[in-house]
């Protein structure tokens, strides 16, 4: 029998015969995972941490973050606390919808006007076919068309309502494409699929007094680092990675497609030469930060309702719609960015990062929980964060006992 047709238990047994002994997993958990993916043999678990207070558009939120990097959550909390003391993050959303593409191959008898004249009718027919989306406030909003030689490009704008909308958009595009292939002069449909080009944008802005950051000299350095990130792609890429550390952690916690956001963010960062997605500028006695991100996300659909771990994250967030969640995520990205730039401008980023990472190192030691805490405490006291030093401390403890 083919591997994908086996039960997850039989797949695990087959791997064990090959010398691959996987970690134990409960039958219930294994079944739940098998319902979510393909060729399932186990699960990967991430810690779920919390940002205690993020103030966005005048309202406070606790924000769930799924990541194995303690410094990411620590940084988000640090940045968020600074924001909250000074009015929080103000976010504006431009949620046009998702773009999809249909590309047709045509012959010389094809007349572009024949489809152009039918666009209003095509929108009506599609929306009638997908009434459930209309009932939730979404639907096909606009179709534009152009021809390049023997190829005809249709760009379809779909409002996915409260869902991310990838599957529904693709279904709409396939439906429309099947109608279009019957037009005179159309040879075949080349593809009908959504585009991950950035369309649903959220822009967050904060204004911080320079004394909240350690004075004007520190604020000026942050502004300079920001400018370097805009002008130098090497710095810009690292700056954006720091932003996406926080963004991806919230996307994963809320069951959203972080890969779609990453792809769209890369396009946005690459416009007019690769640059940082954020900017920080001194304006009199304030440091003003701004971040724009594509947010093709949802709060329903996909695996969101099917996963109890994801529902835990929404319990933490409270009742949020897609626009609110987009605003929260941009706020977290900006908080992570500020914390990183502030660390670089003062003590340096590595010391704090390694202090938090020390817990991961100690976790790998084969000893008691009590010994691990003693070792971690000593490492932080001595400010020595290497696995070799952790092992040296363990050896001393064992010799003492």
Cβ atoms within 10 Å of 296's Cβ, excluding its own: 28
Tell me if 67 sits within 8 A of 245, measured CB to CB: yes
Known catalytic membership, residue 388: no
Active site residue: 174, 257, 262, 309, which one? 257
Known catalytic membership, residue 382: no
Known catalytic membership, residue 69: yes
Active site residue: 141, 241, 377, 383, which one? 241
Query: Across the chain, which distance is largest between two alpha carbons, in Å?
Result: 90
* Tokens found for residue 156: 């379809």
SS3 for 389-400, per residue?
Answer: HHHHHHHHHHHH
Known catalytic membership, residue 148: no
Q: Which of 120, 75, 165, 16 is nearest to 356 (CA)?
A: 75
Q: What are the angstrom distances between the C-alpha of 106 and each of 111, 119, 148, 150?
A: 9, 18, 10, 5
Active site residue: 69, 159, 248, 323, which one? 69
Q: What are phi and psi of 182, to 5 degrees?
A: -85, -5
Q: Which of 33, 30, 40 is nearest to 3 (CA)?
A: 40
Cα angle value 91/280/90 (rounded, 5°): 15
Q: What are the angstrom distances between the C-alpha of 236 and each of 53, 203, 226, 267, 332?
A: 28, 18, 8, 13, 18
Q: Which residue has the tokens 């209309």?
A: 134
**Rounded distance between C-alpha atoms, residue 238 and residue 245, angstroms:** 11
The catalytic residue positions are 69, 241, 257, 353
């Amino acid at each position: 029998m083919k591997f994908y047709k086996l039960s997850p238990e039989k797949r695990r047994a087959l791997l064990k015969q090959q010398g691959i002994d996987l970690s134990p997993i409960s039958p219930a958990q294994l079944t739940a995972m098998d319902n979510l993916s393909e060729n399932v043999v186990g699960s990967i678990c991430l810690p779920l941490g919390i940002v205690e207070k993020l103030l966005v558009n005048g309202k406070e939120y606790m924000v769930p973050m799924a990541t194995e990097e303690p410094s990411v959550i620590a940084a988000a909390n640090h940045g968020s606390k600074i924001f909250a003391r000074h009015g929080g993050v103000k976010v504006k959303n431009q949620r046009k919808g998702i773009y999809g593409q249909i590309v047709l191959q045509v012959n010389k008898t094809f007349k572009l006007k024949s489809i152009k004249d039918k666009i209003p009718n095509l929108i009506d027919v599609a929306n009638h076919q997908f009434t459930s989306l209309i009932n939730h406030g979404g639907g096909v909003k606009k179709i534009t068309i152009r021809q390049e030689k023997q190829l005809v490009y249709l760009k379809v704008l779909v409002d996915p309502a409260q869902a991310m909308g990838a599957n529904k958009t693709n279904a709409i595009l396939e439906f429309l494409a099947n109608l279009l292939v019957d037009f005179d002069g159309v040879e075949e449909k080349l593809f009908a699929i959504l585009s991950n080009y950035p369309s649903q944008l959220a822009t967050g802005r904060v204004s911080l007094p320079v004394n909240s950051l350690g004075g004007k000299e520190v604020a000026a350095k942050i502004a300079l680092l920001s400018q370097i990130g805009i002008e130098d792609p090497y710095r810009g890429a690292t700056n954006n990675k720091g932003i996406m550390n926080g963004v991806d952690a919230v996307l994963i916690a809320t069951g959203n497609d972080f890969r779609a956001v990453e792809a769209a963010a890369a396009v946005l960062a690459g416009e007019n030469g690769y640059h940082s997605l954020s900017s920080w500028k001194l304006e009199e006695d304030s440091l003003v930060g701004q971040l724009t991100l594509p947010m093709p996300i949802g709060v329903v659909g996909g695996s969101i309702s099917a996963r109890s771990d994801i529902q835990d994250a929404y319990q933490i967030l409270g009742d949020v719609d897609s626009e609110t969640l987009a605003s929260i995520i941009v706020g977290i990205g900006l908080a992570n960015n500020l914390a990183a730039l502030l660390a670089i401008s003062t003590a340096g980023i590595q010391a704090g990062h390694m202090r938090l990472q020390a817990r991961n190192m100690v976790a790998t030691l084969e000893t008691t929980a009590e010994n691990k805490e003693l070792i971690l405490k000593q490492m932080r006291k001595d400010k020595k964060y290497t696995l070799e030093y952790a092992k040296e401390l363990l050896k001393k403890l064992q010799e003492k006992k």
